């Protein structure tokens, strides 16, 4: 069902910022406002009046029920969709020369779509809708926190299945298979980033995935899971070694544990994102690994796997203060040392009055039995 309480708040903020309409192109804000996760949604929230969904003919009945008498435009082709949107925008414009339309500028907004939108509507000035949406989505309400708690449990279930499957001779894809399967069976939706099973030299990668690489005894294996539940994400990363770790591998793991602990301790209301970074950086520098430090140990998470504040993507977010009700991860960046491997331990937390409450709780074990 459409969440008119949230729509009204969005409209208030749009009016205050002189944004005439918000053109929704991504699943996260759509889910937030219309209560249902859809891929490739198209909706328009004018600063005043009825929200409007652009949909295909066969979805009409269902969407109308969800919208409770608010406006629904029907189309039967992409061409019609564009024409329809242009029509709505022209109506909103009225006699004015220009209007300002907000769009989301984040990972899931395709550049070509924004390009098409601008070409089809030359009278529109594009604004980044982050200034409207971030403030609303940053602090989660109780309903959202309950969903994210379940997303965290699903991540734990996935990691347990992955850890169980890990042994010399298995491929990264086979380990990913077990994690994905267990999370789906536990009620999880699609993972919002592909499952990482980065083993051996691949543990050093900043990003990753799972391949048909065979995992060997003694290799570091970094597993990163971002399951969703009702559209909301959880993020859980663990690093294992199958068999006996070398002294250097163990040193790196122990250091990351300390880094994450420091990060978790500083993740509380009043601190800024940059404080968390500074404190964790100091631990890494003091241990003599400063040259391998990658900024951005923590980021917000919710309907997006990384959302504001996310200083690795948007450096200005470093100035944002932690508030009660935010949901954040600690352990986002890999500590990778050439020839040794990469280590990362990441968990999701809900920020309480004066501390961070874990939503993912899988044990931080490094060594797994080799057989």
Residues near a second copy, by CB under 8 A: 37-40, 56-62, 76-79, 103, 105-115, 171, 173-174, 176-177, 180-181, 184-185, 187-190, 193-195, 201, 204-212, 291-296, 312-313, 315, 334, 336-339, 342
Neighbours of 258 (CB within 10 A): 15
Nearest to a second copy of 65, 324 (CB atom): 65
Least Å from the CB of residue 176 to a second copy: 6
Q: How far is the CB of 268 from a second copy (least distance, A)?
A: 25
Rounded to 5 degrees, what angle do the CA atoms 57, 58, 59 make?
A: 90
Smallest distance from the beta carbon of 323 to a second copy, in angstroms? 24
Nearer to a second copy, 184 or 361 (CB): 184
Q: Would you call 126 helix, strand, or coil by DSSP?
A: strand
DSSP per-residue string spanning 163-199 = HHH--TT-BHHHHHHHHHHHHHHTT----SSPPEEEE
- Report the distance separating Cα 33 and Cα 13, nearest Å: 14
Tokens of 243: 């068999």
Alpha carbon of 14 to those of 114, 132, 137, 206: distances in Å? 20, 6, 15, 37
Question: For the chain, what's the residue count?
Answer: 371
CB 105 to a second copy: min, Å: 4
Q: How far is the CB of 185 from a second copy (least distance, A)?
A: 5
Q: How far apart are CA 21 and CA 71, in angstroms?
A: 15
- Return the number of the residue (17 or 81) whose C-beta is nearest a second copy: 81
Q: Of 50 and 76, which CB lies nearer to a second copy in the complex structure?
A: 76
Contacts 24+ apart (CB under 8 A), 67-70: 67/2, 67/34, 68/1, 68/2, 70/2
Rounded to whole angstroms, the maximal C-alpha distance in the chain is: 74
Q: Nearer Cβ to a second copy, position 129 or 267?
A: 129
Q: Of 360, 282, 284, 357, which is closest to residue 322 (Cα–Cα)?
A: 357
Toward a second copy, which CB reaches closer, 228 or 266? 228
CB of 214 to a second copy, least distance (A): 12
Minimum Å gap between C-beta 108 and a second copy is: 7
Q: Which is nearer to a second copy, 95 or 339 (CB)?
A: 339
Cα angle 164-167-168, degrees, rounded to a multiple of 5 = 170
Give the C-alpha separation, 92 to 316, whole Å.
Answer: 33
Look-up: residue for tokens 């536990």? 186
User: Can you say how many angstroms the Cα of residue 231 is from the centroid of all Cα atoms in its chain?
Assistant: 10
**Residue 30 or 349 with smaller CB distance to a second copy:** 30
Nearest distance from residue 289's CB to a second copy, in Å? 11
Nearer to a second copy, 59 or 275 (CB): 59
CB of residue 282 vs a second copy: minimum separation in angstroms? 16
Q: Is residue 200 within 8 Å of 213, Cβ to Cβ?
A: yes
Q: State the minimum distance, in angstroms, from the CB of residue 112 to a second copy.
A: 4
- Which two tokens mark 239? 């690093």
d(CA 108, CA 350): 24
**Which residue, 128 or 279, is less far from a second copy as judged by CB?**
128
């Amino acid at each position: 069902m459409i969440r008119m309480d949230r729509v009204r708040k969005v409209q208030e903020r749009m009016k205050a910022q002189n944004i005439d309409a918000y053109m929704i192109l991504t699943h996260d804000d759509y889910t937030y406002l219309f209560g249902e996760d859809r891929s490739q949604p198209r909706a328009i929230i004018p600063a005043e009046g009825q929200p409007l969904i652009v949909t295909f003919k066969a979805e009409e009945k269902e969407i109308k029920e969800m919208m409770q008498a608010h406006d629904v435009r029907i189309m039967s082709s992409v061409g019609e969709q564009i024409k329809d949107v242009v029509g709505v925008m022209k109506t909103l414009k009225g006699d004015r020369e220009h209007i300002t339309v907000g769009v989301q500028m984040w990972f899931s907004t395709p550049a070509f779509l924004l390009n098409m939108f601008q070409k089809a509507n030359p009278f529109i000035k594009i604004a980044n809708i982050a200034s409207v949406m971030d403030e609303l989505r940053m602090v989660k309400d109780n309903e959202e926190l309950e969903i994210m708690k379940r997303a965290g449990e699903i991540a734990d279930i996935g990691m347990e299945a992955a850890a169980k499957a890990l042994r010399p001779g298995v491929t990264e894809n086979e380990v990913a298979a077990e994690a994905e399967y267990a999370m789906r069976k536990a009620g999880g939706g699609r993972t919002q980033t592909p499952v990482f099973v980065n083993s051996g030299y691949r543990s050093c990668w900043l990003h990753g995935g799972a391949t048909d690489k065979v995992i060997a005894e003694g290799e570091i294996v970094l597993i990163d899971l971002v399951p969703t539940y009702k559209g909301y994400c959880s993020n859980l990363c663990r690093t294992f070694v199958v068999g006996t770790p070398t002294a250097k591998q163990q040193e790196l793991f122990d250091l990351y544990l300390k880094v994450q602990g420091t990060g978790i301790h500083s993740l509380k209301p009043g601190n800024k994102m940059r404080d968390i970074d500074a404190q964790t950086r100091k631990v890494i520098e003091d241990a003599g690994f400063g040259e391998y430090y990658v900024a951005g140990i923590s980021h917000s998470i919710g309907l997006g796997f990384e959302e504001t504040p996310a200083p690795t993507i948007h450096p200005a977010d470093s100035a944002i203060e932690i508030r009660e009700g935010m949901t954040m991860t600690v352990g986002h960046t890999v500590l990778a040392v050439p020839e040794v491997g990469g280590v990362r331990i990441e968990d999701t937390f809900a920020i309480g009055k004066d501390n961070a409450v874990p939503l993912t709780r899988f044990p931080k074990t490094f060594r797994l039995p080799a057989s």
